[in-house]
Amino acid sequence: MIASLIAEKLTCVRGDRPIFADLSFQVAAGEALVVEGANGAGKTSLLRLIAGFLTPASGGLVLNTDKGAIADGEERGRHVGWLGHHDAVKPQMDVGEQLEFFARLYGTGGDVRPVLERVGIARQRELPCRYLSAGQKKRLGLARLLMSGRGLWLLDEPFAALDTAGRALAADLMRAHCATGGMVIAATHDPLGLEARSLKLEAA
């Protein structure tokens, strides 16, 4: 179980360009944090730092869990459920096969049908992913989050491509995740639809 995420004086540099500097914040289990800022302020870069995809130029990130503190980016990533701009689906696989693949990858196993029903695409279970709409692909991404069993959800524009019902679903899933001790950090220009603290990024 995760307990908290602590960032201290993070600085992010991409190429030779500083994105943000001396950024500190803390998020506890059961909380949601909205990362705000103009385009180019570093919202996606911050999520990638937390996930361990990038290494900060300076500062540190520590994920506290019931098994101890984790400072290593790769190890921290084992606790992360990621939903980014790319849909991460194989067009030749059908929806059920795709979700079963991720269930095996995450080691969670189990029947994927209840999860597909939860996100509203059970009827598309045998449909090849190349025929899914952008909104259906985002719903499949939400299903992947549920199957991941990961405590820390990092979401980059989670409402993109979703209609009104899909946005309400995403908010419900985030709310339920936090209610069970999970943590949500979302970069978005839209209201999150649940109680959340905000973190405003200013370009360096």
Q: What is the pTM of this model?
A: 0.96
**Low-confidence residues of the chain: pLDDT under 50:** none
Cα–Cα distance for residue pair 189/65, rounded to 1 Å: 30
Cα–Cα distance for residue pair 161/86, rounded to 1 Å: 12
Q: What type of residue is 146? A: L
pLDDT score at 204:
66
Cα–Cα distance for residue pair 22/93, rounded to 1 Å: 44
Q: Is 183 exposed, middle or buried (0-12, 13-18, 19+ CB in 10 A)?
A: buried
Contact call for residues 177 and 25 (beta carbons, < 8 A): no
Tokens describing residue 96: 């059920």
Helices (H) and strands (E) in the chain, counts: 6, 9
Contact call for residues 185 and 30 (beta carbons, < 8 A): no
Furthest C-alpha separation in the chain: 48
Q: Is 5 exposed, middle or buried (0-12, 13-18, 19+ CB in 10 A)?
A: buried
pLDDT score at 161:
95
Contact call for residues 82 and 142 (beta carbons, < 8 A): no
pLDDT score at 15:
86
Cα–Cα distance for residue pair 73/85, rounded to 1 Å: 21
